[in-house]
Amino acid sequence: MRASFIFGLIIALLGALFVMQNSQQVDINFLFFEFHSSMALALVSALLAGMLIMAFMGFPFWYEKRKQLRMARKALKSHQQTINSLKKEHLTKETTAE
């Protein structure tokens, strides 16, 4: 297993333990809304909202890097074709020179 997966799993387990230990009822005031809910539900909701926000913020960066990678692969393929054609040209010149 990869170390990052194990680290993520440990963090998730610690988070789940934290949420389970904080299950008392609380009043939540957000803008003009007032809720009465368990703290566990509030914590999980905040966690999911944070994950969604980070995903949306990271998407443009990920898309740009993916686009750059696609362009680099296309350029690499073109360069490899050029190298192969130059090798063939060089080999044909050597064989005709003999």
Full-model pTM: 0.52
In this model, does residue 1 exceed pLDDT 70? no
Mean pLDDT, to the nearest integer, of 19-41? 82
Of 50-54, 60-64, 73-77, 89-93, minimum mean pLDDT range: 89-93
Instruction: Give the integer Cα–Cα distance in Å for 72 and 64.
Output: 12
Q: Confidence band (pLDDT; 50, 70, 90) for 69?
A: very high
pLDDT at 56 over 80: yes
Return d(Cα 15, Cα 49) in angstroms, integer.
15
pLDDT at 97 over 70: no
The yes-or-no verdict on residue 91 having pLDDT over 80 is no
What's the mean per-residue pLDDT of the chain? 84
